[in-house]
A and B are shown apart, each in its own frame.
Chain A
Amino acid sequence: MTFWFAVLGASAVAFATKFAGYVVPPAALEQPRVKRLTGMLPVALLASLVVLQTFSTGRDLVLDARAAGLLVAVLALVCRAPFIVVVVLAAGTAAGLRALGWG
């Protein structure tokens, strides 16, 4: 039930946000500072989510096969690999290491 609440709640907010762009007076969001803020917010959020997904098990910080996967993902991104390739390489790295008994 909690999950359904999250799913439907987030969907409603997402649609309202998208719709707002078509009805909000442009002046409100076009101030340079507000514009920069909305551009930078995703950066902070995504960086946080990378840390959570790589080093956290809920309440603890750990170093496991996910860290190696992240390293490979970054290398792939440096080499300009497409998104799907980055994801697959990271998963493959972690899966490979675990098959060898680490992480």
Chain B
Amino acid sequence: MTAAPTDARSAVVRQGLSVAVATGLYGVSFGALSVTSGLSVWQTCVLSLLLFSGGSQFALIGVLGGGGTAGAAVAASSLLGVRNALYGLQLVPVMRPRGWRRAAVAQLTIDESTAVAVAQSEPPLRRLGFWVTGLGVYVGWNLMTLVGALAGNSLGDPKRFGLDAAAAAAFTGLLWPRLKGREPVAIAVVGALVTTVLVPVIPQGLPVIAAAAVGSLVAWCWPQPRTGDEA
């Protein structure tokens, strides 16, 4: 294996670390929101250590905090994590993990580590990008989750600090980059409408599942793009 030039490697490290810092910071909002949703500091930290997928974690505490059942919370969280399986498929030829490394690589397979890895030009840099970003986000996210959980517990009424609005903004921030083209916008509108209509009439936690089901149906039936202009 030929070593990549040093400056190319340090560029990847800088990229990975800046992504890690930016992502890690919003672990604070996860930690604070989680304890204000009724989870303990321990449960909050275990989520970041074991689940380690931001969108899924927010979904879980969102449903639990809204009074949904554990089953509905697990379902919403798990559906949101399906994309991680696709990332694994993209990373198999890059990482080629064996033995215990396969578990470590799988655990660190998230939006950020995949994005930085696939953005690199050659395999050694891709692997470097994956490890730096994955480990960097893991450490930052978990430390900041603890800070947020401890701070959130001592804040008193979370509404006073607008923490409930922070949750809405967090989901919007996660959704925003995906709204490119007519199909995702249509699906987002349908998902929002289905939820709005169903909130007053079906048990808590179920509207989000219904929105996912109807959204999937729209995606499945959406006219296929001609080959070549796939997003």
Contact = CB atoms under 8 A, between A and B. Distances in A.
Interface of A: 2-11, 13-15, 17-22, 24, 26, 29-30, 32-33, 35-56, 58-61, 65-66, 68-70, 72-74, 77, 82-84, 86-96, 98-99
B119 interface: no
Given A7-B47, A29-B85, A86-B172, A15 B195 contact: no
Contacts of A91: 161-163, 165-166, 169
A21 B53 contact: no
30 contacts: A3-B64, A6-B70, A7-B51, A10-B47, A13-B78, A14-B51, A18-B85, A18-B107, A21-B86, A22-B106, A24-B85, A29-B85, A32-B224, A36-B222, A39-B231, A40-B183, A41-B212, A45-B79, A45-B211, A48-B191, A48-B212, A51-B199, A52-B195, A59-B200, A83-B22, A87-B166, A90-B166, A95-B160, A95-B161, A98-B162
Contacts, number: 314
A79 to B, nearest CB: 12
Interface stretch (B88-96, B125-133, B135-143): B88-96
The SS class assigned to the A binding surface is helix
B105 A17 contact: no
